[in-house]
């Protein structure tokens, strides 16, 4: 039976670049989750005949949220749901299932790289029929709807058994439970040469993959251990847990401490990698060696033609504005189309759909290609393994070879977290106002060549977006400032520093960026305005 529930709106259901992310306890407030889902359904309109993909990363409240979603979809006239077994589905796998079945959209219940558990975070990602993030015009309509919602519809019924693969019905809606891994594995086998990768492991190659007790554990076990032949135990923290076993599932130098300890040991394996909570981010490590995401994107682009799916050429490559300029030099060398976009995967989707790019990536540990419309962590790992198998070089050798060929962008991101929104907004507004006056000025020995807001004019839909502020120094070094929308509380000022060198290729990154950090702090008056003398997180 369909029930109409009277409700009152919440005022804070505005989606960021990664969907709607809130503290778990906020999402669990009476009708909070239901209000937002109903707002999406109301925005879509007539749901008769619509088919959606549904899954999540297994974090706390995931099971309850999926059951509520199923019942609301049935009550609102959705024709069919395709759901990952036990409610599991990584973000890249969801995009693949969506595109393969030509559905009308998809929902992934995840806060991505944010911590889980009752005191952690929860999120809702909504993709349209492209398989990627919805455009701002749609998310704005959802937000407007959420501010005026008065009721939602839900089907009164027992919970659906999500453990058994197969089909069932709830009212007039069909429910199909699918293996969350098999379709994704099939897609990877169509992109990469699995036989050459099997030979790599047969030769004794060793790796460690950290799944952070999140959703990619089963994918990694199936691909790396069962299919490619990596030794058992190559995948660690492989069992998805509601609180990720207390781990913060963000694959970076701050949180991947267990993997870093393994890779920094004298008996380290040849290769290390990690994915985040929902499987769209990745970190790449060699023996006692870290590959920055910016360098990783550049290196993958340089080797694109060794991958079977790309051997006949690629359309081009794009990076987010804060990502280092390393890939721009590779694009120029290969005569590839090159784009710099605001932070947010939806900007890449437009370029993919219009066949302007094939590869893309962000400094925040996300890389991907047009095989889906999301970033893809395991795809990036398989790409790196393919380069190693083809060249016979180590991760460190591949990276150093790249620096010799193209120069090195020393690069780090400094996050100043938990700022009052009004303080952060005023800092950025005042900084933007003084940018024109910075040209020719010197800070910590660096002379400003130009300073301006980053404005992106989308070549596909004609939209214009301002996203961050850039200070360029003579010689190719730069600072990028932007406020982040990926947290669940407060504002985060992200400061991205880049020092480009063609001769000094083996220096300490932090030391190479110390003077630019001083300049960045001085230019934006960070300590004066926020009280912070140093960043909370450096990645």
Residues annotated as part of the active site = 112
C-alpha angle 86/378/215, rounded to 5°? Answer: 25
DSSP type of residue 134: P
- How many alpha carbons lie under 13 Å from residue 423 in its C-beta half-sphere? 17
CA dihedral for 349, 354, 357, 359, sign (positive or negative): positive
273 and 383 in contact (C-beta within 8 Å)?
A: no
CA distances from 479 to 453, 454, 517, 519 (A): 12, 12, 9, 9
The dihedral formed by the CA atoms of 434, 440, 443 and 445, expressed in degrees to the nearest 10: 170
Q: How many CB atoms lie within 10 A of CB 509?
A: 17
Query: How far is it, in rounded angstroms, from Cα 508 to Cα 159?
Result: 55
Q: How many CB atoms lie within 10 A of CB 230?
A: 26
88 DSSP β-pair partners: 56
Burial class (CB in 10 A: 0-12, 13-18, 19+), 192: buried
Quote the tokens at residue 91: 């973000």
Query: How far is it, in rounded angstroms, from Cα 506 to Cα 159?
Result: 58
Q: How many CB atoms lie within 10 A of CB 474?
A: 12
């Amino acid at each position: 039976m369909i029930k109409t529930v009277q409700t009152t709106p919440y005022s804070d259901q505005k989606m960021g670049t990664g969907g709607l992310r809130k503290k778990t306890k906020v999402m669990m407030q009476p009708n909070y989750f239901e209000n937002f889902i109903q707002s999406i359904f109301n925005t879509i309109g007539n749901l008769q005949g619509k088919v959606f993909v549904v899954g999540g990363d297994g974090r706390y409240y995931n099971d309850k949220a999926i059951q509520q979603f199923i019942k609301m979809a049935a009550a609102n006239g959705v024709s069919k749901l395709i759901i990952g077994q036990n409610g599991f589905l990584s973000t890249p796998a969801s995009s693949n299932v969506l595109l393969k079945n030509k559905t009308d959209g998809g929902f992934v219940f995840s806060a991505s790289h944010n911590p889980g558990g009752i005191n952690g975070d929860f999120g809702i990602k909504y993709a349209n029929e492209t398989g990627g993030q919805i455009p701002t015009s749609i998310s704005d309509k959802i937000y407007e709807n959420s501010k005026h919602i008065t009721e939602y519809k839900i089907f009164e019924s027992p919970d659906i058994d999500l453990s058994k693969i197969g089909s069932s019905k709830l009212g007039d809606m069909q429910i199909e439970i699918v293996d969350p891994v098999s379709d994704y594995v099939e897609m990877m086998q169509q992109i990469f040469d699995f036989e050459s990768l099997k030979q790599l492991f047969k030769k004794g190659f060793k790796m460690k993959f950290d799944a952070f007790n999140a959703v990619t554990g089963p994918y990694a076990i199936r691909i790396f251990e069962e299919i490619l032949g990596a030794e058992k135990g190559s995948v660690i923290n492989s069992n998805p847990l509601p609180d990720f076993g207390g781990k913060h599932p963000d694959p970076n130098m701050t949180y991947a401490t267990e993997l870093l300890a393994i890779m920094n040991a004298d008996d380290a394996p040849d290769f290390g990698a990690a994915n985040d909570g929902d499987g769209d981010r990745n970190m790449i490590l060699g023996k006692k060696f870290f590959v920055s995401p910016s360098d990783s994107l550049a290196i993958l682009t340089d080797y694109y033609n060794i991958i079977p799916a790309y051997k006949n050429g690629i359309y081009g490559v794009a990076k987010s504005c804060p990502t280092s300029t390393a890939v721009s030099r590779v694009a120029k060398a290969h005569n590839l189309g090159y784009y710099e976009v605001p932070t947010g995967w939806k900007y890449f989707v437009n370029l993919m759909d219009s066949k302007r790019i094939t590869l893309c990536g962000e400094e925040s540990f996300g890389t991907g290609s047009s095989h889906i419309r999301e970033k893809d962590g395991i795809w990036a790992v398989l790409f790196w393994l393919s380069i190693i198998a083809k060249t016979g070089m180590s991760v460190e050798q591949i990276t150093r070879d790249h620096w010799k060929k193209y120069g090195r962008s020393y690069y780090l991101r400094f996050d100043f977290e938990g700022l009052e929104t009004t303080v952060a907004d005023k800092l950025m507004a005042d900084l933007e106002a003084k940018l024109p006056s910075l040209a020719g000025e010197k800070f910590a020995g660096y002379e400003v060549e130009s300073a301006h807001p980053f404005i992106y004019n989308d070549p596909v839909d004609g939209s214009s977006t301002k996203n961050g502020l850039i200070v360029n120094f003579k010689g190719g070094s730069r600072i990028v400032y932007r406020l982040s929308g990926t947290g669940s509380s407060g504002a985060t000022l992200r400061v991205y520093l880049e020092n480009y060198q063609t001769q000094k290729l083996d220096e300490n990154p932090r030391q190479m960026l110390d003077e630019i950090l001083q300049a960045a702090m001085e230019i934006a008056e960070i300590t004066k305005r926020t009280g912070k003398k140093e960043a909370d997180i450096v990645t």
